[in-house]
Amino acid sequence: MLESIISHGLALGAVYALIGITYNVMFAASRVFSFTAGMVGMLGGVLGALFINRMGMPVIVGFVLTLASGAVIGIVTEILTVRPVLKSLDQHLYVLSTLAFALMIQQLTAIEWSTEPQPFPRLLPIGRGIFDQQFWLPMLACALVIFGLEWLYRRTLIGRAFLAIAEDSYAARALGLPEQRLRMASYALAGVIATLAGFSSGEMMLAYFGNGPLLNFYGFVPVALGGMGSNRGAVVGGIALGLFQQSASVLVGGIFASVAVFVVFIIVLLARPEGLAGAATARRV
Amino acid sequence: MSPTRRRAITRRQALAGAGASAAALAAGVCRPAIAQSEPIRIGYLPALTGPSSSTGIGINRGTELAVKEINAAGGIKGRQLELIVRDTQSDPTKAVNASTELTRRHKVHVMWGPLNSGEALAATPLIARDGVPQMHPCWVDALTDVKKYPLCFRNAPTNQQIGGAANHYVFNVLKLKKVAVVSDTTGYGTASLTAYVPMLKAMGAEVVYEGTIEASNPDVKPEMLRMQSGGAQAIMPWSVNAGFLSRLINTRSEMNWDVPIVGQTTLGSGQTQALLKKPEYWEKVYPNNFRNCCYNEAGALPPRTREFVERIRKANIEMSDTLLWWIALGYDAPRLIAEAIKEAGTEPQAIAAYWNKVNNWPGVYATITFTPEQHNGFHDNEVVMCRANSLKDGAFTLAPGYAG
């Protein structure tokens, strides 16, 4: 039982954290919560299976193409669903535009791929067990992403430009930063992270169009728990969610595990609406 | 105006009267002639595209073959069968629109379909309202009701029969008394669980585990450990989700737990097979099937099915990507319709009255019996279980324990 909680809990938690980070990267660049995050995550599994299983490409080529596709979808998301509504952020039109695009992605996947779960290839030729690759690959992906983002934001010029946009886009633009191109780059980066989440968890979650809404929701929980915009908070929130969900599944079982997750989620938000790691925002009066 | 003038008939009036009489005479005389030569219209609602299309495509091959054969043999009293096909695209809304178009605009004599339950649930009340006789193969129990839908008949089993056959196999054939029943969270899954658990208990089985799991949950091991610790001797999953079913099968094998898995037909589907970690994990998995479309232990099909398969081969109908029982089911329906129209005519009530008397009709897919009180024509004993890993040319081998 304990092994199941740890292996599946940490792996699922890492996937949720990666989707949470995807939400954050897009939010930081545009102040928009794009509900395409989970759908692009789902595409990571589907495209991986398509390139490697169906088209017979080597794993590394399939991996690179999947991430590249994620970047392209990220850019398309920015152009089609975010840019047109940025001028009226207060009307929250992005909820409609990003949700509509997310549904389009899901329906197209259902039509062109399959409505049935499809097998995802085994990525490395090593054996199975408690420390199976289907468990540690998502954790490795999560660790790489969090360290990579830390490095990008703190050690590179472009990373600092991202932070500047996130802090104050008007001031950043006034300083001559190419806001639009940086926002597109952020969305491309978010697409890469989401597809990495789906690709690394493909064997565990299968290449299945139904994973999209699940990732959309469970990936949003760590963002709400960890605080909007906080990647570290998303990782802590995601891992906690995965472990809690799996513990609830083992201890109370079946459908009650989901109920337990929602109950804790609501309690935490009631106690700390800004999230566990988020800072309370001042309201202009 | 004088009486003489009042009685006078002008030439124009005489011509108009003669014309009207001629038209009335022509209509009266010619209409039966046209009606007797016009095709018999069968409204047909398969899902040929979309998520439920694999079933529809299989059934369609049988339906087209039957209509072709009937028409090649001269039709029904000289009238050809005309299938008016509308692809529902696996969408209940489109099924509703298409059924209304077929009953009202095309004024079809009979409806065949819709072919899956979601669409039939939406379309059947409308077909009944328009007074058109309907034959469908959908399993949801509520889809036949002699009071609500007196013209609606089913040439396939009900969900009760499907669950009953699985329960019978576990309890009476395998003689296992402790059973774990599990479903996914879909309407089908939970409804099946609610229906089949009381049936098992009524038979005397001990249901040691009864649970619902989200189909997308990647880890079913905790639930299976609960089943194991409860002493389950068989697992009965009710779901059409291949991912969920394959996880149950994979986990059972990885736990080195040697209990049979008995349940819905998807257990034996190619999608489920594709998700198994090892082919041998498919051992001791027994999905529902139908006696007439199963091989016996010697590898032989029943005689009338064997003869049907020969005809399919001669007609160059592809069987490798579909199931024999889908083709057979599609083949039986137009024949039942044609027979009713041949014997009783095209009046809706007459067709229903004929079907109400159908007794042991020897279909390829099933032997059918209807009565005025029972429009579910499938016989209980023809729903069986088969070996999931025995698929050959679209058909499976009977599960161990059945007499061939």
For residues A191 and A239, is the Cβ–Cβ distance under 8 A? no
Q: Is it the case that residue B319 has pLDDT exceeding 90?
A: no
At the second CATH level, the architecture of B40-158+304-385 is 3-Layer(aba) Sandwich (3.40)
CA-nearest of A27, A194, A204, A64 to A121 is A204
Interface of A with B (CB under 8 A): 1, 4, 8, 12, 110-111, 115-119, 204-206, 208, 210-211, 214, 246, 249-250, 253-255, 258
Q: Which residues lie closer than 8 Å to B256 by C-beta, 6 or more apart?
A: none
- Name the minimum distance, in Å, from the CA of B227 to any CA of chain A: 11
Q: What angle, 0 to 180 degrees and rounded to 10, lies between the N-to-C axes of helices A2-30 and A179-200? A: 170
Beta-bridge partner residues of B44: B85, B112
Cβ within 8 Å, pair A1-B243: no
Q: Is it the case that residue A5 has pLDDT exceeding 60?
A: yes
Q: How many residues does chain A have?
A: 285
Whether residue B225 lies within 8 A of chain A, CB to CB, comes out as yes
| Facing residue for B226 by CB, picked from A111, A116, A253 | A253
What residue has token string 């409505």?
A115
Please give the single-letter amino acid code of residue A130.
Answer: I
- Average model confidence (pLDDT) across chain A: 89
Cβ within 8 Å, pair A249-B246: no
Q: How sure is the predictor about A212, in pLDDT bands with cuts at 50, 70 and 90? A: very high
Whole-angstrom distance, CA of residue B144 vs CA of residue B124: 9
Cβ within 8 Å, pair B214-A208: no
- Please report, in angstroms and rounded to a whole number, the separation of the first and last CA atoms in chain A: 53
CA-nearest of B113, B116, B96 to B104 is B96
Backbone angles phi, psi at B303, to 5 degrees: -55, -45
Whether residue B213 lies within 8 A of chain A, CB to CB, comes out as yes
Say what the pLDDT of residue A279 is.
Answer: 61
Whole-angstrom distance, CA of residue A198 vs CA of residue A115: 17
Whether residue B85 lies within 8 A of chain A, CB to CB, comes out as no
Q: B147: how many CB neighbours lie within 10 A of its CB?
A: 6
Cβ within 8 Å, pair B218-A12: yes
Give the rounded percent of residues in chain A with a pLDDT score beyond 70. Answer: 95
Convert the pLDDT of each residue in A64-118 to its tens digit.
Answer: 999 999 999 999 999 999 998 887 777 788 889 999 999 999 999 988 888 888 8
Q: Which residues of B touch A210 (CB under 8 A)?
A: 215-216
Q: Is it the case that residue B2 has pLDDT exceeding 50?
A: no
CA-nearest of A59, A40, A45 to A206 is A45
Say what the pLDDT of residue B22 is.
Answer: 53
Q: Average pLDDT in the B201-210 region?
A: 96
- Name the minimum distance, in Å, from the CA of A57 to any CA of chain B: 19
Cβ burial of B47 (10 Å; 0-12, 13-18, 19+) is buried
Indicate which of B181, B190, B216 best probes the interface with A, i.e. most A CBs within 10 Å of its own CB.
B216
- The SS3 call for residue B155 is coil
Say what the pLDDT of residue B9 is.
Answer: 55
Convert the pLDDT of each residue in A42-67 to its tens digit.
Answer: 999 999 999 999 999 999 999 999 99
Please give the model's pTM, rounded to 2 decimal places: 0.80
Whether residue B194 lies within 8 A of chain A, CB to CB, comes out as no
Cβ within 8 Å, pair B211-A208: no
Top-ranked range on mean pLDDT: pick from B11-20, B159-168, B211-220: B159-168
Beta-bridge partner residues of B183: B212, B238
For residues B393 and B182, is the Cβ–Cβ distance under 8 A? no
Whole-angstrom distance, CA of residue B45 vs CA of residue B154: 15
Q: Average pLDDT in the B105-112 region?
A: 97
Cβ within 8 Å, pair A254-B213: yes
| Facing residue for B243 by CB, picked from A111, A117, A255 | A117
What is the bridge-based pairing of β-strands B285-290 and B383-385?
antiparallel
Q: How sure is the predictor about A266, in pLDDT bands with cuts at 50, 70 and 90? A: confident
CA-nearest of B290, B243, B292 to B269 is B243
User: Which token pair is A28?
Assistant: 């930081």
Q: Which residues of A touch B273 (CB under 8 A)?
A: none
| Facing residue for A117 by CB, picked from B219, B222, B275 | B275
What's the topology of domain A2-123+133-271? ABC transporter involved in vitamin B12 uptake, BtuC (1.10.3470)
Q: Which residues of B touch A116 (CB under 8 A)?
A: 241-243, 271
Whether residue B274 lies within 8 A of chain A, CB to CB, comes out as yes
Backbone angles phi, psi at A234, to 5 degrees: -65, -40
| Facing residue for A210 by CB, picked from B216, B223, B246 | B216
Least confident of A188-197, A232-241, B129-138, B148-157: A232-241
Indicate which of B55, B213, B245, B275 best probes the interface with A, i.e. most A CBs within 10 Å of its own CB.
B275
Say what the pLDDT of residue A259 is.
Answer: 82
Say what the pLDDT of residue B219 is.
Answer: 87
- For chain B, domain boundaries: 40-158+304-385, 160-292+389-397
Q: How far is CA A209 from CA A18, A36, A104, A111, A202, in A?
A: 18, 13, 12, 10, 12
Q: Average pLDDT in the B148-174 region?
A: 96
Q: Which residues of A touch B185 (CB under 8 A)?
A: 255
CATH class of B160-292+389-397: alpha beta
Cβ within 8 Å, pair B241-A253: no
- The two domains B40-158+304-385 and B160-292+389-397 share their CATH topology (first three levels equal): yes
Whether residue B230 lies within 8 A of chain A, CB to CB, comes out as no
Least confident of A3-7, A232-236, B104-108, B224-228: A3-7
Q: Average pLDDT in the A221-232 region?
A: 85
For residues B190 and B161, is the Cβ–Cβ distance under 8 A? no
Q: Which residues of B touch A211 (CB under 8 A)?
A: 216
Q: Which residue of A has its CA nearest to B216?
A: A211
Beta-bridge partner residues of B234: B179
Cβ within 8 Å, pair B214-A255: yes
Q: For residue A125, is the peptide bond before it cis, meaning its omega torsion is within 30 degrees of 0?
A: no
Cβ within 8 Å, pair B212-A258: no
Cβ within 8 Å, pair B271-A110: no
Q: How far is CA A105 from CA A32, A199, B13, B353, in A?
A: 19, 17, 71, 50
Q: Is it the case that residue B18 has pLDDT exceeding 80?
A: no
- Name the minimum distance, in Å, from the CA of A46 to any CA of chain B: 14
Say what the pLDDT of residue B4 is.
Answer: 41
Say what the pLDDT of residue B5 is.
Answer: 44
| Facing residue for B219 by CB, picked from A8, A111, A115 | A8
Whether residue B229 lies within 8 A of chain A, CB to CB, comes out as no
For residues A195 and A47, is the Cβ–Cβ distance under 8 A? yes
What residue has token string 């309370």?
A280
Q: Average pLDDT in the A211-223 region?
A: 92
For residues B165 and B145, is the Cβ–Cβ distance under 8 A? no
- Name the minimum distance, in Å, from the CA of B280 to any CA of chain A: 17
Whole-angstrom distance, CA of residue B400 vs CA of residue B385: 9
